[in-house]
Structure 1
Amino acid sequence: MPNIPAFISYVMVTTFTPGPNNIMAMSNATRYGFKKSIPFNTGVFTGFFIIFTLCGLFSVTLFNLIPSIQSIMTYLGAAYILWLAWKTYNSKPNSDEDNSRNTNKYIWGLLLQFVNPKGIIYAITTVSAFVVPYYKSAPIITGFALLLSFTAFVSNCCWGLFGSIFQRFIVKNVRMVNTIMALLLVYSAVSLFL
């Protein structure tokens, strides 16, 4: 069984920190209203579900073909989490002004997942470090994919609903927020070896 506190902290930090999905959800809700931002958020949910499911199937196949890959994937996952902690600690607040002409459609949210490096690496890291080493059946991997996709949907909705509040808070307290997020990520990386 995976280290549940490390899994939860990694998922929450990675899902709720600024990234393309959250910034665009915030921008959509600010421009068009929360209700009209729901199709984009639903597209993100669907895209994440597809990415997580594919990562799960790919990881199980690798684990079955090359059993020794588990330790390699754990080290790679931990290295990525530590890199993400460093980037989080040193990041500056993003502005929603950078988002160009979002049509606020379901397809846009879905397709974004296939070119979103943060989302793809998040899926690979989560599945290979926290799921597949402990669970290899398709229904359980699908359950994790649904849970993690739903978490992304909730995150997008939170950023949409409270985007302006989060944006002001992050800008005002950027060092404190980044430090807390980075420390939670370091904890997640170290716990992979405990």
Structure 2
Amino acid sequence: MFELTAALIVFLFPLAYSPGPGNMFFAANGARFGFAATLPASVGYHVATLLVTLAIGFGFETTLQRSPILFQVIKWAGSAYVLYLAWKLFRAHAIDKVGEARPAGMWGGAVLLLLNPKAYVIIALMFSQFLEVAASSGEVIAVGWISSVFTLNNLVAFTVWTLVGGQIAGLFRDEAQAHLLNRVFGSVLALVALWMMFG
């Protein structure tokens, strides 16, 4: 199981740490609200990650393959949701300013995962590469182990991105600078949304 885990982490490393919807979402929230305020969204995202990964591992992928329309609906809905988040961030003001802005909660984090079709593709690809190797341990154990490693690896990556976002924000406490930072993160999230939509 050790060799499987090591190979799985190597496989997932570039996928987890490269800029994507989840990483940019948590970096932006870390920059705007700080690390502690992102914890509910992180819990929601990673609980959803574990459940979706288990579902795909036990056969949900077959449903998506048989219903390409469902995949397209998820793709467009997810892109629209990330674009909405980008617009809110782009229009936000200073990080310390008290107003209507609130950090994403558990549900917001869960929705981000559920409406990200790229995650479904990555999870399906992961199982296609590693499930057969782990099958000697039994399907339930193999799917559970792979799902757990995938979820924990994402948690570490997103925590790093959140902390980096928070550190960057510390350099942008001035009103104008904070507004610029929000516009930069908003623009990056918008690009991620377009990548999800057309990629």
Please state which band the TM-score falls in when normalised by the shorter chain. Answer: 0.5 to 0.7
Which of 45, 64, 67 matches 2:62? 64
CA shift digits 1:2-61 (9 cap, x unpaired): xx69x6242332011126x9836458xxxxxxxxxxxx97x9877654332013335665
Which of 52, 77, 89 matches 2:49? 52
| Counterpart contact for 1:82–1:186, Cα < 8 Å | yes
Which of 170, 178, 193 matches 1:174? 178
- C-alpha root-mean-square deviation of aligned residues, in Å? 4.1
Aligned to 1:35: none
- Relative to structure 1, is the Cα distance of residues 176 and 157 closer, same or farther in structure 2, using a 3 angstrom cutoff? closer
Offset of 1:72 from its aligned partner?
1.1
| Counterpart contact for 1:23–1:159, Cα < 8 Å | no
- Relative to structure 1, is the Cα distance of residues 44 and 180 closer, same or farther in structure 2, using a 3 angstrom cutoff? closer
Which of 96, 116, 120 matches 1:132? 120
Aligned to 1:119: 109
Segments of 5+ residues of structure 1 without an aligned counterpart are 28-39, 99-112
- Relative to structure 1, is the Cα distance of residues 182 and 146 closer, same or farther in structure 2, using a 3 angstrom cutoff? same
Aligned to 1:145: 151
Instruction: Provide the secondary structure at the position in 2 that maps to 1:168.
Output: coil
- Relative to structure 1, is the Cα distance of residues 154 and 131 closer, same or farther in structure 2, using a 3 angstrom cutoff? same
CA shift digits 1:111-161 (9 cap, x unpaired): xx9x523322222234xx22212432245554432222112332454567x
- Relative to structure 1, is the Cα distance of residues 9 and 46 closer, same or farther in structure 2, using a 3 angstrom cutoff? closer
Instruction: Provide the secondary structure at the position in 2 that maps to 1:8.
Output: coil
Q: Larger Rg: 1 or 2?
A: 2
Aligned length: 160
| Counterpart contact for 1:13–1:184, Cα < 8 Å | yes
Offset of 1:73 from its aligned partner?
0.7
TM-score scaled by length of structure 2: 0.58
Instruction: Provide the secondary structure at the position in 1 that maps to 2:29.
Output: coil
CA shift digits 1:149-179 (9 cap, x unpaired): 112332454567x48725615x441332122
- Relative to structure 1, is the Cα distance of residues 59 and 183 closer, same or farther in structure 2, using a 3 angstrom cutoff? farther
Aligned to 1:23: 33
Segments of 5+ residues of structure 2 without an aligned counterpart are 1-14, 128-142
Which of 8, 25, 29 matches 1:14? 25
2: CA distance between counterparts of 1:54 and 1:26? 24
2: CA distance between counterparts of 1:174 and 1:90? 11
**Is 173-182 or 58-67 further displaced after alignment?**
58-67
Partner AA of 1:79 in structure 2 = A
Q: How does 1:147-166 map to 2 (within 5 A)?
A: 147-158=153-164, 162=167, 165-166=170-171
Offset of 1:77 from its aligned partner?
0.8
- Relative to structure 1, is the Cα distance of residues 142 and 131 closer, same or farther in structure 2, using a 3 angstrom cutoff? farther
2: CA distance between counterparts of 1:146 and 1:168? 32
